Amino acid sequence: MTSALPSLRDLFVGDLRMASAPALGALATLVDGVHWKALCEHALDVLDLNVVDLLIGGWRRHAEVRSQLRATALDPSRTALVHVAAHTVESSHKPKVEVRAEGRLLAILTVPVEIAFEIEAVELSIRAGEIREIRPGRVMVRGIVKIENSVVLERELKRLEFPGRIVIDPAEPARPRAAACG
């Protein structure tokens, strides 16, 4: 794996399975004259979310992680290691796409994205109230992207490959980088 960590776009486009033509045909009845294939391609723009950011957001809700985030915020010299056993991190997003023609708003479409990460185990290093390092175990992912209620992309359960250690750069929060395996 390169030093770049995956985005949701990488996960879906890497081995994407497009929805069937009937699903897109059903969408065509919503707004006449829209190029639905082009709209589906632009729907991928909503997938430009960093996978590590999504995972960190889920782990922040875990009771032990929350406790250690608070404790290390109070004592920034302290480092806590938190082991989280088998768990699932789910993330749902509902961005909207405006369909316009000649400056006129034709429709506003919801593009729901649902993703689930099944994680065998993870070790989190927490310092100064932030997750600073991640040592992931086996991570499996699945998800769907819809336009309104029609599925346009689907990702079956598949293993994600992460480096042995992911360091979160404290100078640039939300900018994780891959570290050497180890």
In this predicted structure, the answer to whether residue 102 has a pLDDT above a threshold of 60 is yes
Summary mean pLDDT of the chain? 79
| Alpha carbons 126 and 114: distance in angstroms, whole number | 28
In this predicted structure, the answer to whether residue 116 has a pLDDT above a threshold of 80 is yes
Encoded amino acid at 169, one letter? D
- Res 108: pLDDT: 85
In this predicted structure, the answer to whether residue 32 has a pLDDT above a threshold of 90 is no
- Res 43: pLDDT: 62
Place of tokens 């390169």: 2
Over residues 129-157, mean pLDDT: 86
DSSP H or E stretch at residue 87: strand 87-93
| Alpha carbons 171 and 126: distance in angstroms, whole number | 15
Q: Which residues are registered as beta bridge partners of 99?
A: 107
Q: Which residues are registered as beta bridge partners of 89?
A: 117
Encoded amino acid at 96, one letter? K
Q: pTM here? A: 0.74
DSSP H or E stretch at residue 108: strand 104-110
- Res 181: pLDDT: 38
